[in-house]
Structure 1
């Protein structure tokens, strides 16, 4: 799911590489990072020109006249101060990987054997310095076509940065667990579904579609107060439009004041609004709706007709084998 959401799934590049059983998500991410770093090390770490300032009798670069005058190096020691550029692996993206490996090697949430292997990999970054990781540091990484192999590694390191929390004593780190963060998991679920359908529904446009409210101009200031109307996933062809709302709630059904459990009304209202506006702007096409939940409890698969439009409410169990998930998602889109 992460590979799809990060844009690193390539159907044409899939190979049968066997299976690796991991006891938990932290260990899985540590192994994925370690394996990709090993491939990176075989190719060689990226290097960049870094400015160095030295003092010596033989000048290797640009003479720093002001520093020489301030420190009187020529008169006192017969030396000059000069600056030069040197190719070094001590660049930001390597520093982020190195620091993440060190954190994983101290993490209680990672299997001991994997911690040891990650620690050995970190030792190979001998010419890379440590860096203080912050949320903003990942935005400072600039990659080019020649360093595109770092993109996946940066995604993994950023995810681990958010999930690895210091323990109370400060000597190790603990894995917080992305599954417990509803906001981030819902965003990840949406990105995954959008990327999945974009990869597998040939000949169809797959986007997050933004509609303008079909509202009258009687009250212009009121129009400015309307929120954005943006679908999670819209799958379009000239003949048909499928609007998908993706939800990552712990409970799909909620108790009703009249007894029993019902679907969440807000989710149905939201999907109905999207379908109505889709039909307004693309009247010639047939319109369907899918309210798709990541399954946490009981499975649901119900088909309804609301205002003449087919609406399906279903769950997808992300804990199943990938082949089952793949087939289920295609079936829900009726491919």
Structure 2
């Protein structure tokens, strides 16, 4: 799957709750030939915003030999090292410094991106400058647990975006054959990781771009009675990808990131994936119980490149739409089509079913 870099910029910005002002591409993004350069540009732009506002700081323990004691004196060390003979005390004290984990992660990510083979000269120079600006921040070796240990105290929006970006870069870099540089994985082929991005993109897009519906993930209770003691505790959770609700209507959207929307054996017609329809219909049944008195519709939304699909069905008393959005177009067209999924009327229900829904 190939998606233009401008559209990838929008997708990741929405997924990470970083909304482009007026749907305009930031200056410099047009010059990015691939995702590695795009992420380098985003890292540079947003870290520079942080630097202008003031990088986050935290209290870190320092141990020093001082002529004028401060903090807590370490008596055992003073005796062992005989610091009093030198007229000094060994003290432990907290000092406010920029050398906190989230700044260390940003610096480590900048260094990692510099090693990517495809990084342009412009981005490489920008990353080198950023490393110099972060000279008072320690160098660390990133691990998966680094991101789980981050605790943000302020500027959560920008730092939150940067931590998501840094984590994505960390899991996307692959060492080259000689180990001297890195390659950026073709993450668009990674259906598992991109499924999360695509779902978050759609949910945040609808939360930001329309005001008729409340947007959330919905945890639903199974319409089931446990006949065996304790059986209810092992039922799986039922959580929608995206639920749009109003006083009159509920739309359940299931986001599916697959390279192919339709599947089938060679020589046979390709069809929709039955498991996706079963899952969505289960959501619609339980949404009817959760939101009585409202029309409950559903949509399966897939990415597509080159071929768009938009078909409507009526299943029981629910209207269901299956859409594959062509992402290889101008962003304005994609934007309008996404809003059209919820704005355009579904095929009208017969009057008797409409009465049953209410």
- TM-score, normalising length: structure 1: 0.90
Q: 46, 49, 52: which one pairs with 1:39? A: 49
Q: Please name the residue that 2:8 is paired with.
A: none
SS at the partner of 1:123?
A: helix
Relative to structure 2, which stretch is displaced further, 220-229 or 274-283?
220-229
Shift of 1:330: 0.5
Q: Please name the residue that 1:200 is paired with.
A: 209
> 2: distance between equivalents of 1:324 and 1:271?
26
Is residue 2:330 matched to residue 1:321? Answer: yes
Shift of 1:273: 1.3
Give runs of aligned pairs for residues 239-318 of structure 1, distance below 5 A.
Answer: 239-255=248-264, 259-296=268-305, 298-318=307-327
> 1: distance between equivalents of 2:41 and 2:124?
9
Q: Please name the residue that 2:75 is paired with.
A: 65
Is the 8 Å Cα contact of residues 28 and 41 (structure 2) preserved in structure 1? no
| Deviation string, structure 1 residues 195-251 (Cα, Å, up to 9, x no partner) | 111122314221211222212343445444432222111111121111111100111
Which contiguous aligned blocks of 4+ residues in structure 1 show a shift greater than 4 angstroms?
13-19
Q: Which consecutive residues of structure 2, in runs of 5 or more, have no partner in the other structure?
A: 1-10, 345-358
Shift of 1:310: 1.4
Is the 8 Å Cα contact of residues 197 and 206 (structure 1) preserved in structure 2? yes
Is the 8 Å Cα contact of residues 106 and 173 (structure 1) preserved in structure 2? yes
SS at the partner of 1:263?
A: coil
Are the structure 2 counterparts of residues 317 and 69 from structure 1 closer, same or farther at C-alpha, using a change threshold of 3 Å? same
Is the 8 Å Cα contact of residues 27 and 111 (structure 1) preserved in structure 2? yes
> 2: distance between equivalents of 1:297 and 1:16?
22
Q: Please name the residue that 1:185 is paired with.
A: 194
> 1: distance between equivalents of 2:101 and 2:173?
20
Q: Please name the residue that 2:350 is paired with.
A: none
Q: Please name the residue that 2:143 is paired with.
A: 134
Is the 8 Å Cα contact of residues 213 and 277 (structure 1) preserved in structure 2? yes
Is residue 2:152 matched to residue 1:166? Answer: no
- TM-score, normalising length: structure 2: 0.85
Shift of 1:292: 0.9
Number of equivalences = 333
Q: Please name the residue that 2:152 is paired with.
A: 143
Shift of 1:51: 2.4
| Deviation string, structure 1 residues 36-93 (Cα, Å, up to 9, x no partner) | 2222223333333322222244435432211011122334x45432233333222222
> 2: distance between equivalents of 1:283 and 1:258?
45
Shift of 1:139: 2.0
> 1: distance between equivalents of 2:168 and 2:289?
40
Q: CA RMSD of the aligned region, Å?
A: 2.4
Are the structure 2 counterparts of residues 282 and 84 from structure 1 closer, same or farther at C-alpha, using a change threshold of 3 Å? closer
Larger relative contact order (CA 8 Å, sep ≥ 6)? 2
Relative to structure 2, which stretch is displaced further, 263-272 or 196-205?
196-205
Are the structure 2 counterparts of residues 40 and 59 from structure 1 closer, same or farther at C-alpha, using a change threshold of 3 Å? same
Q: Which consecutive residues of structure 1, in runs of 5 or more, have no partner in the other structure?
A: none
> 2: distance between equivalents of 1:236 and 1:287?
9
